[in-house]
Amino acid sequence: MEKVKQSFDLQSLVRENIRNLVPYSTARDDFQGMAEIFLDANENSMGSPLPGNFNRYPDPMQGKLKQKLSLIKGLSPDQIFLGNGSDECIDLLFRAFCIPGLDQVILCPPTYGMYEVCAHLNDIPIRLAPLDQSFQLDLEAIGRALDPRTKLIFLCSPNNPTGNSLRYSDIETILNNFDGLLVLDEAYINFSRHRSWIPGLAEYPNLVILQTLSKSWGLAGLRVGMALGSVELVRILNRVKYPYNIGQDTQELALEALDRVDQVNEWTRILVQQRERLEQELPKLGEVVQVYPSDANFLLVRMKDAQDCYRYLMRLGTIVRDRSRILLCAACLRITVGSPGENDLLLEQLSSYVSSPR
């Protein structure tokens, strides 16, 4: 049974100024053949002081990188938008679809902080529909937050900072009933026991999936994030981005890294094992109240006194994230799963914390 969402019209969601935008045409746009001499872009014809062709502008559409990613993701290259981290994708979604001061976004806290920051940055009113006590979506709250001016709903699965995946059926319900864009952030999907929503892109033109090379791929320093969606959506984001948003070195290094998928899979397997180890070991410590189930490479841990523990670990040189002041996360620390040796040390430091006088 093929069910394709009928009522969705992406063009009517795009801001009018973006729809009418004549994008900056880059130096090599109208050239496909084989040229020898490039005197069109005011580059330095003498060369670059670094090894490599850094005197030339990079491919503005990152063709090779998208080609390789398309094989990994099982999508066509023109369904892939690349940004300077997912953070650029988040910002561009606001800029392409939300009229400042007028259009709205729904966020489901506690969740990744950049959605809120980017909304504020773009002056987009936020309606909150907090997660329930088990960190799942509250569909009724989302229904109440909906407005004719709601353009985007941001969801994160596995969710940061709670670590859990959102129910498949809830996401499906929203996709079937919402005529704006559902942006699903899958930054941690490779650590999850649940599958990606990528196959859903064929069915739902209102679905945008964010993924990144920053987490399981181990390339946070490189800054490559992606928005996966319909060809039409990717075309819009391409019009809005800065022409050369991904540098030459980044494109080359990312291409190299994508060949090392075996290494990455091995590390992912180890990190998931280590997560399970910490899930078992942490609750044995007296100061730990609860370890929440995680599909990511971190654990949300409720402590008796989170701030005290946070400061104790900090004095020993171990930094975790204090999430104790955010909604539904009272007394919680968010602890990234380390390497096996780092986790040994963490557990040692935490047991010394438990037995320390306070």
Ligand X SMILES: *Cc1c(COP(=O)(O)O)cnc(C)c1O
- Contact residues toward ligand X (CB under 6 A) are 85-87, 112, 156, 160, 185, 187, 212, 214-215, 220, 225
Minimum separation from the CB atom of position 40 to ligand X (A): 32
Ordered DSSP codes for 160-216: TTT-PPPPHHHHHHHHHH-SSEEEEE-TTGGG-SSPPSGGGGGT-TTEEEEEESSST
Minimum separation from the CB atom of position 152 to ligand X (A): 15
In terms of DSSP bridges, do strands 321-322 and 332-336 run parallel, antiparallel, or are they unpaired?
A: antiparallel
CB-nearer residue toward ligand X: 161 or 353: 161
CB-nearer residue toward ligand X: 8 or 190: 190
CB-nearer residue toward ligand X: 54 or 267: 267
Minimum separation from the CB atom of position 217 to ligand X (A): 10
Minimum separation from the CB atom of position 287 to ligand X (A): 26
CB-nearer residue toward ligand X: 335 or 350: 335
How far is it, in rounded angstroms, from Cα 231 to Cα 354? Answer: 54
Instruction: Record the tokens describing residue 312, joined without a space.
Output: 């104790």
CB-nearer residue toward ligand X: 28 or 68: 68
Residue type for position 204: Y
CB environment 36-52: b (16+ within 10 A), e (fewer) = eeeeeeebeeeeeeeee
Minimum separation from the CB atom of position 225 to ligand X (A): 3
Helix axes 306-315, 340-354, angle to 10 degrees: 120
Minimum separation from the CB atom of position 137 to ligand X (A): 16
Minimum separation from the CB atom of position 224 to ligand X (A): 7
How far apart, in Å, are the Cα atoms of 212 and each of 106, 224, 325?
22, 6, 27
Angle among Cα 174, 176, 178 to the nearest 5 degrees reads 60
CB-nearer residue toward ligand X: 215 or 241: 215
CB-nearer residue toward ligand X: 205 or 225: 225
Name the residue whose CB lies closest to ligand X. 85
In terms of DSSP bridges, do strands 288-291 and 298-303 run parallel, antiparallel, or are they unpaired?
A: antiparallel
Residues 6+ apart with CB under 8 A from 98: 15, 104, 105, 122, 124, 151, 152
